[in-house]
Structure 1
């Protein structure tokens, strides 16, 4: 199975911002909310590899087809 990119440039930056914001939760939050910060690793990972498994399931592609290969 070929792993084509399906996350575009703007989408990647949004994921990085959201990921970093979630990772900062342990610094600013108290109690159980600190563990939610680990969820920030998911958008950072999908931004790093330019591939989102959920987008693949839904048939969504935010990058141009020329750069996806």
Structure 2
């Protein structure tokens, strides 16, 4: 997979991902807890690998050339 995420995009996703995971664990309940945890985990993983699968079909890249 080609990397299509820039540094700023990756840092924003890591920060929001951590917030969502913690929110899902400690604050939210029921379905919302699972949804927030899953969304946060996906954001963290995509930022760590530097590739967003949703960007690919649209040809989006936040990475500087």
Name which one, 1 or 2, has greater alpha-carbon Rg.
Answer: 1
Between the aligned partners of 1:22 and 1:54, the Cα distance in structure 2 is 19
TM-score of the aligned structures, taking structure 2 as reference length: 0.85
The one-character-per-residue Cα deviations of 1:12-67 (angstroms, maximum 9, x if unpaired) are 001101111110122012333211222211110110000011111111000123xx
Unpaired runs of at least 5, structure 1: none
Unpaired runs of at least 5, structure 2: none
SS in structure 1 at match of 2:62: coil
SS in structure 2 at match of 1:54: coil
Alignment size in residue pairs: 63
Between the aligned partners of 2:47 and 2:6, the Cα distance in structure 1 is 9
TM-score of the aligned structures, taking structure 1 as reference length: 0.81
2:15 maps to 17
1:64 maps to 64
Between the aligned partners of 2:57 and 2:49, the Cα distance in structure 1 is 17
Alignment root-mean-square deviation, CA:
1.1
